[in-house]
Structure 1
Amino acid sequence: MPPTSSAPPWDVHRLPRAEGSSVLVTGGNAGIGYFIAEQLSATGATVVLGSRDPARAEAAITSIRSHVPGADVRAVRLDLADPASLRAAAESLEVHALDAVVHNAGVALDDPPRRETGDGHELMFGTNHLGHFALTARLMPLLSAAPAARVVTVGSFAAKSERLDLDDLQSRRDYRAKRTYGRSKLAQMYFGLELDRRLRALGSPVQSLVVHPGGALDSLTPPRPPVHARSAGARLRAAPAALLVQGKHAGAWPAVRAVLDPAARGGQLWGPHLFGLRGTPRQEAVWSQLSDTAVAARLWEASCHLTDVDPGNLRG
């Protein structure tokens, strides 16, 4: 079935109102996560930033409030590489129901050496995938308490050319930083789609969607000091790239639409409409490797074993 779009046409600059809803954005203090949080705040939603660094979270909150007067935004401490912090973060949300969580935070290492979390997991796989996998389990009671909650997992276009090695998920035998990052994001995307299949089988009202930001560069991103600064020189040097990619404010659009658009549905993949790299968000066909449900099921079972939790348990 070809991708469909909602009617009336979606306008990234005229978002629907969302007063009374609560959204957690992991990594909402910087990069794409910051702009997801800023744009959702403009709808009247209560936005909670999940952040490891209280000072950076406070800077982000100040910036959001300066651009969105009256924004209802706050932060909770969240370290996805530390399982002990996940339950505490869920409890500190202080909400009776959670309408959406955007799994955006991530670690990207450019060079060796291979690093591990405190639990001995490869850092990028352990943070980007396992951390969000376990966090979802902790949040499931709050998500299930909402009328129609959404789990939105932010993948990466870098994952499109990757394949998972189910026998070496931790990259112990063959570690290459960029490939390991791409595979960690691919694992996240498998998780988001498999989660929706399991939620549907359980008759849950919670839906799980997957998005990716396309190509999103700092140099094409509007300044948000002190969260993000951009020199005039950097902007000029990056101008030719704007034909193919975009800034992180635009990279946030698919996630924001997946949270807000009533026409979006669980199990869908959303990304930029121009070659998957830039432009307004649209639903796109699920990538061929992500359609392999056998791989998704094996990854799920391995993730349950590695985290000792199961997001498919709606009691959390």
Structure 2
Amino acid sequence: MVLSTRRRWTAADIPDQRGRTAVITGANTGLGFETARLLAERGATVILACRDTVKAADAAARITALAPDSTVRTLRLDLSSLASVRRAAERLRADHPRIDLLVNNAGGVRRRYAVTEDGFELTFATNHLGPFAFTGLVLDRLLAVPGARVVTVASIGHRRGTVAFDDLHFTRGYRYAHAYFQSKLANLMFTYELHRRLAAAGVPAIAVAAHPGNARTEFGREMPLPVRVMMRPQFRMLTWWLMQSPQKAALATVRAAVDPEARGGDYYGPPGRAQFTGYPTRVRSTARSHDMAAGRRLWQESERQTGVTYPLAEPARVTPS
């Protein structure tokens, strides 16, 4: 369901970003690259936090070529490794006493079951536990910044997700689609719980979520063959109603990151019932994603598994009258 009816929101609506520092994970390609490019073109100092430093350097060079006056840096970050997450956070904190924007964009799905060095199922580790830990380790750099935001990229796939608290890492059987849907639901539950905690603390930072709809990106390389074929650019004239370019799809993330009207807990994505394509607007997520008890439980479990404790107290529970 669409929550706003304003005219379409495009790149022309991005406010001046000069003086802001933005960290975007997974920014060497696809949606992350387009998000970084748009912010850099509006004057933000952009940090590309990526697993592959060679690809990150290439992406930085491409952005600089498009926006010669921009400042673009790179940061080595592998979200599937808590050791890498901690190293990246330490470097970021050392180099940047102030962060205005953190975009948790990086993510993926693996068709075959895999376990990380920390013993976590790879999709859940990369899409949720890694971003949860990284955000917590750098959050103090955002807390005192007026207008600071944590933006987490979810998916319409969250509608089919459930969080299996009794088997978060699929030790009793792996289905890659279920692993992905669980991680994307977790992204939204994390955003809403972070919003509640930030609001309770009275700090000027907010947490917002976004989803790109269906985008033609390298993300589809793990998908079944029919999906990979449909995502090829040469088929865009046949699938325009189903999939959109990464340039257009990234606008949802960017709007969540910069729209002055955004509020904590907002969720942006393409309009319509399906939310496959279109210019971003404020949209709804499932009732399951707003389950506060489940959100608290996921938060506590994430802190336990990652060893990262946030400098935010749990909001007081409201007792029904």
Provide TM-score, normalisation by structure 1. 0.89
Q: Deviations over 1:161-191 (max 9, x none)?
A: 2222111111111210121112112111111
**Counterparts of 1:192 and 1:287 in 2: how far apart (Å)?**
13
Deviation at 1:99?
0.4
The residue number in structure 2 matching 1:202 is 201
**Counterpart Cα distance in 2 of 1:161 and 1:12:** 31
Instruction: Name the CA distance, whole Å, in 1 between partners of 2:60 and 2:2.
Output: 39
Q: CA deviation at 1:2?
A: 7.3
Q: Is the 8 A contact 1:98 1:145 kept in 2?
A: no
- For 1:55, what is the secondary structure of its paired residue? helix
CA distance in 1, matches of 2:31, 2:129: 20
Q: 1:273 aligns with which of 267, 271, 276?
A: 271
Where does residue 223 of structure 1 map in the other structure? none
SS in 1 for 2:36: helix
Question: What corresponds to 2:239 in structure 1?
Answer: 241
**Residue 286 and residue 140 in structure 1: after superposition, are their counterparts in 2 closer, same or farther (change >3 A)?**
same
**Separation of aligned partners in 2, 1:127 and 1:236:** 30
Contact 1:52 1:78 in 2 (8 A): yes
Is the 8 Å Cα contact of residues 2 and 282 (structure 2) preserved in structure 1? Answer: no
Contact 2:80 2:130 in 1 (8 A): yes
C-alpha change, 1:277 and 1:80, in structure 2 (3 Å) is same
Q: Write the mapping of 1:110-125 to structure 2, written as runs, cut at 5 A.
A: 110=111, 112=112, 114-125=113-124
Separation in 2, partners of 1:237, 1:97: 43
Which digits, 9 at most, give the CA deviation of each residue in 1:281-316, with x for residues without a partner?
1001232211211111111111111011123538xx
Q: Distance in 1 between matches of 2:232 and 2:161?
A: 30
Which residue pairs with 1:226 in the alignment? none
Change (3 A) 1:166 1:234: closer
2:76 corresponds to: 77
User: What is the CA-CA distance between 1:133 and the residue it aligns to?
Assistant: 0.5
Kindly indicate whether the alpha-carbon contact (under 8 Å) linking 1:52 and 1:77 is maintained by their aligned counterparts in 2. yes
The separation in 1 between residues aligned to 2:191 and 2:11, in whole angstroms, is 23
Q: Given residue 4 of structure 1, which amino acid in structure 2 is its aligned partner? A: S
8 A Cα contact 2:26 2:49, kept in partner: yes
Confirm or deny: 8 A CA contact 1:199 1:312 kept in the other structure.
no
Classify 1:273/1:2 alpha carbon distance in 2 versus 1 (closer, same or farther; 3 Å). closer
TM-score, normalization: structure 2? Answer: 0.88
Instruction: Please give the residue correspondences for 1:1-316 in structure 2 after superposition, counting only pairs within 5 Å.
Output: 3-4=3-4, 10-93=9-92, 94-110=95-111, 112=112, 114-218=113-217, 234-274=232-272, 275-313=274-312
- Report the secondary structure of 1:241's partner residue: coil
Give aligned-pair identity as a percent. 38
List alignment gaps of at least 5 residues for structure 1. 220-232
Kindly state the Cα deviation for residue 200 of structure 1 after the two structures are TM-superposed.
0.9
Provide the C-alpha distance between the structure 2 equivalents of 1:79 and 1:26, rounded to a whole number of angstroms: 9
Paired residues, what number? 300
Q: Which residue of 2 aligns with 1:228?
A: none
One-letter code aligned to 1:3: L
- Unpaired runs of 5+ in structure 2? 219-230, 314-321
